[in-house]
A = this chain, B = another copy of it.
Amino acid sequence: MNIEKLPTQQENFSEWYNQVIQRAELADYAPVRGCMVVRPYGWAIWENIQKALDQRFKETGHVNAAFPLFIPMSFLEKEKEHIEGFAPELAIVTIGGGQTLEEPLVVRPTSETVIGHMYAKWIKSYRDLPVLINQWANVVRWEMRTRLFLRTLEFYWQEGHTAHETAQEGQEETLRMLDVYADFAINEAAVPVVKGRKSESEKFAGADTTYSIEAMMGDTRALQSGTSHNLGQHFAKAFNIQYLDRNNELQYCWTTSWGLSTRFVGAIIMAHGDDQGLILPPRLAPIQVVIVPIYKNDEEKAAVLPVAEKIEKALSAFRVKLDAREEMTPGFKFNDWELRGVPLRIEIGPKDVAKEAVMLARRDIPGRDGKISIGIEGLAEKVGDLLVEIQAALLQRATDFREAHTTTPSDYAGLQEAVQNGWALAHWCGNPECEANVKEDTKATIRNIPFEMQGESGKCIICGAPATDKVIFSKAY
């Protein structure tokens, strides 16, 4: 562990973010510009995210599959908006097996096209519908400005791709998966999110409508944390995904796609972390409980270590680690595990052993206030309760923080001021020009049009025209 202090979030949030990732060994820079190596501790968080999502996908009737990494360039060109959106970001294979390829291959930036091609082959009749497939995959987008987890050339995600008989079923699926994402974010990651529709200028290239969940980070910026797209019949028409309906007539399918990526690891870091480092929500933390034995000599060690080991066993229902490293002081270990965001620390020294007790230290409440001495008897149950409590406290804190940094300015000057340090809720007439003006004046964008505020009528905060949508304006990652 690096012994220099982290910069505080106040001093430099961006530098705090970079250093936390490096020092906690979540990820590192790869030798290729903009690519990342996800290190074991970071990957373990992603694996826990995968489990939590995969279970929800299966409960909603989806199955996993694997579609190819390479897509013929001509496929992307079949949907006009799609290729316009992705063309600037493509990585292209032009040589294979020592030969120049006749048709260049795109390294998938997303898989609507190649999956559309396969669905056209597989789907014949309404009896084959719905098709509900997800894949866990790596994708590549040639981004110019990159940040670990938030925006990298290669990233990891899941992409769901579904095909339906009717427009209504497509829309239901789109919103169902948005709900799945929100449920995951709130209940697994303790990250409060706002569900809403994206404006036309921010929607997915090729979608009818894009929906997102948006979260507020510790510097008040927004992070789009998951998206669900109603693709209408755009890709069905481009790839001829047709089926014979109940009247034996050929119809185009209605398709959707939805994705959540390793970007979400960035959301967890920035939504919960503090000046000491990461704070991981217990449900996704690779290590939920760390046990640090405290002793000054061999005699004390002989008294303490066996009890620490017994406690480790008693807590085997949790993801528990006994830190028995010899070459480090307890103080060093405390800092190290705080940096790594382990939600609960158990300290045990000779006095604790004598009392048949341990000291519990909550990561989310620094110092004395977060410490409780507790009897060893029934410890597992108490630890379980405390982890639930920490999970709830993180969600509450992030929600309070968001509310404290969300305002409803009454005029354009107020909006410009508000988005300097928070979210602003305001009416928007729907005109892309008004949206563009805000971006130019403040760098803030419309994050989404929250469901809960749709239909509230008022006047556009930019141009004064009548407006039926209230939206979130914010700077964003």
Q: In the complex the two chains form, what is the Cα distance from A357 to B144 in whole Å?
A: 67
A75: chain B residues at CB < 8 Å are 31
Contacts of A46 in B (CB 8 A): 66
Residues of B within 8 Å of A67, CB to CB, are 30, 37
Residue of B nearest to A28 (CB): B118
Partner of A44, one of B39, B63, B97, B153: B63
- The residue in chain B whose Cβ has the minimal distance to the Cβ of A36 is B68
Main secondary structure of the interface of A (DSSP, over half): mixed
Contact of A107 among B30, B88, B93 (CB under 8 A): B93
* Chain B residues with CB below 8 A from A127, complex form: 327
Q: How far is the CB of A222 from chain B (nearest CB, A)?
A: 25
B91 touches A93 (CB 8 A): yes
Residue A396 CB within 8 A of the other chain: no
Query: Bound complex: CA of A354 vs CA of B140, how far in Å?
Result: 60
Q: A94 to chain B: which residues have CB within 8 Å?
A: 92-95
Number of copies: 2
Known: A67-B37, A96-B91, A154-B68. A105 touches B31 (CB 8 A): no
A87 at the interface (CB under 8 A from B): yes
Taking CB atoms, residues of chain B closer than 8 Å to A31 are: 71-72, 75, 114, 117
Those of A83-111 within 8 Å (CB) of chain B: 87-98, 104-105, 107
Q: Do A70 and B154 touch across chains, with their CB atoms under 8 A apart?
A: yes
Q: Is the CB of A140 within 8 A of B69?
A: yes
A137 to B89, CA, bound (A): 22
A114 CA to B29 CA, complexed, in Å: 12
**Interchain CB contact under 8 A, A37 and B118:** yes
Query: A40 contacts the other chain (Cβ, under 8 Å)?
Result: yes
Whether A43 pairs with B69 at a CB distance below 8 angstroms is: no
Q: Which chain A residues have a beta carbon within 8 Å of chain B's beta carbons?
A: 28, 30-32, 35-40, 42-44, 46-47, 63-72, 75, 87-98, 104-105, 107, 114, 117-118, 121-122, 127, 133, 137-138, 140, 142-144, 153-154, 156, 327
